[in-house]
Structures are given as C-alpha cells and as structure tokens.
Amino acid sequence: ARLRQRVMVDVSKIDTSTELFGQKMAMPLILAPVGLAGMMRKRAEVQAAKAAEAHNLPFTLSTVGICPMEEIRAHTKAPFW
C-alpha cells in the first residue's frame, strides 16, 4: 500500500477507538511500561495510571515500578497490565 497525503479532510469526528484482548480503548496506544517514574515525582505511577484511566487507555506497570501494585489498584478502577 502506498501512503498518500490527504488535505482538506474533516478530521473532527474520527473514531480512533479499538479493542485489544477484550478491552475497549480510546485509541491504539498503551501507556507502558511505566516504572521508576516515582524517582521524578511522588507516586508518579499512580498519577500515570489515573491519567491513562481518564483517557480510556491501557496502563502497564513496569517490574521496576516504585509504587506497589496495590496502591495503584486503590486509586483506579480500570484494569491495568
């Protein structure tokens, strides 16, 4: 397939949502892996998970995350990987 530039196209109502492993997401983007962010800001992994949840995006915690998985779970409702 060839990529072609299209101009003057109304993109205000484009649906970028998709489904992966049975989970519907706003766009084909996953916030991952998020780890050691806590070195930059207190509870950064929790904040990243909340931001991902607010925008209907999957969140993946790294094995080197500073916040415990249980703390992230306590602050979010959406499943994370």
Boundaries of every domain in the chain: 18-75
With contact defined as beta carbons under 8 Å apart, do 69 and 79 qualify? Answer: no
d(CA 49, CA 69): 11
Q: Is the pLDDT of residue 76 over 90?
A: yes
d(CA 70, CA 46): 10
Position 23 scores a pLDDT of 87
Digit-coded pLDDT (tens) for 20-71: 888 899 999 999 888 888 888 989 999 999 999 999 999 999 888 889 999 9
Residues facing residue 18 across a β-bridge: 25
Q: What is the pTM of this model?
A: 0.77
